Structure 1
Amino acid sequence: MVAAVVITATPELEATEPRIHDALRRFQERLNALQPSEMEAVIEAATRALSQSEEPVPPIVDALSGGRRPTAAERVEAEIDVLMRSFARRRELLAGALTASQVARLLGTSRQTPHDRLAAGTLLAVMDQGAWRFPAWQFDPEGDNGVVPGLPEVIRALRVSPIAKMSWLTRPNPMLDGDTPLARLKAGQVEQVVALARAVGAD
């Protein structure tokens, strides 16, 4: 069991930033709701936000903001909000994901095969709490090698992180009339989805 995290500000910081106490309290509550493996990234982000130096602001930014700079408390809140949304999306994407052993049983292969196929770019997985997690939606009993037709080509074409690949495949895409790339793959439109995937992250 992981001990609860308690965060306090220095007296000097509380004196100069009246809202920092409330921001840190909210940060503490959110942090204790995370998995232990998620805490480090959030703590680093908050530390980075608090330690930002007062760098010169470009004139256009200064004009758009009315000359107001965000306080340390506001920077912390903004960093935390972005990370919380990212972690919530990650948990959503990994909901119902399979372990390597479960994938091996599903496909009728050895326990090593899912790892080999992951390395070859024909399966998609994310390391989560020390174990690979394979989204269940990529498997299709009627597809080649038990996966959705065209998925390996899309996985290799996408030049982004594994979690970003999962998000791209399952998010409605305006270039596909609001369909998800995964739905279009299942409909047999492999070439169209691969072409879109190649454009992701392109200069």
Structure 2
Amino acid sequence: MRSAVLVRELRAELGEPMLSRVLEVLKQELHGTRRAAANPVLVQLRANNAAAVAATRAQLLRDALSSDEVRRYVNRTRPVVNRMAKEGTLLAVADGRALRFPRWQFDGRTEDGLVPGFRRVLALMDASAFRKATWFITPHPRLGERRPIDVLRKGELDRVLEEAKGVTSG
């Protein structure tokens, strides 16, 4: 199952053509025809991927809220907010020992303080918090090159739920 999740994440990060190249190189590696450490394609892919992940993580953390800020949106205490993150009913990314909550999941006009339907989408996903967060802010072809969080804000819950099924490990 972890392999399927990894392939989905790589497909989302690299795109299908580059993923195919990577898989071909890895296949050749398994058969002993090349050395991965010296392969310039893999070296470049690793460097590009590390840079992209670092940039995305920095953006997520820069625009995120602390537990204290979030408690005002959801009208709960800080310990309850942290428990909600641990249970997966709020999306939080670890920043050292602190939790940071992507701002875009909140909507101060709703009763629960979240974008309508957000919890339902989040509940479908079986991936790391970072992967979930990047999924919500990455444009998707089947959503008309729009970000899932933007589609959700437009009230198109069913479309987002359908697309979110691809982020599960089962």
User: 1:124 & 1:180 partners in 2: Cα distance?
Assistant: 16
Q: Does 1:85 align with 2:58?
A: no
Helix, strand or coil at the partner of 2:139? coil
In the alignment, structure 1 segments of 5+ residues that lack a partner are 1-54, 63-67
TM-score by length of 2: 0.71
Name 1:123's counterpart in structure 2: 90
For 1:118-158, what per-residue CA distance to the aligned partner results, in whole angstroms no more than 9, with x for missing partners? 13322100111110000111110122400000111111111
Residues 1:70 and 1:113: Cα distance change in structure 2 (over 3 Å): closer
Measured in 1, the distance between the counterparts of 2:37 and 2:79 equals 51
Greater shift, 131-140 or 83-92, is seen at 83-92
Offset, 1:200: 2.4
The match for 1:178 is: 145
Change (3 A) 1:79 1:117: same
SS of residue matched to 1:188 = coil
Structure 2 gap ranges (5+): 1-27
Deviations 1:89-110 (A, max 9, x none): 1112222211111211344421
Structure having the higher Rg: 1
SS at match of 1:133: strand
RMSD of aligned residue pairs (Cα, Å): 2.6
Once the two structures are superposed, what CA deviation does each residue of 1:133-192 show, in whole Å capped at 9, x if it has no partner?
001111101224000001111111112111111111111110011111111111111122
Counterpart selection for 2:69 from 86, 96, 102: 102
Aligned pair count reads 142
**2:163 counterpart residue number:** 196
Question: Are the structure 2 counterparts of residues 110 and 69 from structure 1 closer, same or farther at C-alpha, using a change threshold of 3 Å?
Answer: closer
Question: What's the secondary structure of 1:198's corresponding residue?
Answer: helix
Distance (Å, rounded) in 1 between the aligned partners of 2:163 and 2:30: 37
Q: Name the structure, 1 or 2, with higher relative contact order (CA <8 Å, separation 6+).
A: 2
Report the AA paired with residue 172 of structure 1: P
| 1:55-90 Cα distance to aligned partner (Å, 9 max, x none) | 96538xx5xxxxx64654956665344222211111
| Preserved CA contact (<8 Å) 2:125 2:167 | yes
Residues 1-203 of structure 1: matches in 2 within 5 Å? 57-58=30-31, 62=33, 69=35, 72=38, 74=40, 78-201=45-168
Counterparts of 2:81 and 2:64, CA distance in 1: 13
What is the distance in 2 between the residues matched to 1:71 and 1:131?
Answer: 35
Q: Percent identity among equivalent residues?
A: 32
Q: What is the rounded CA distance, in whole Å, between the counterparts of 2:90 and 2:36 in structure 1?
A: 43
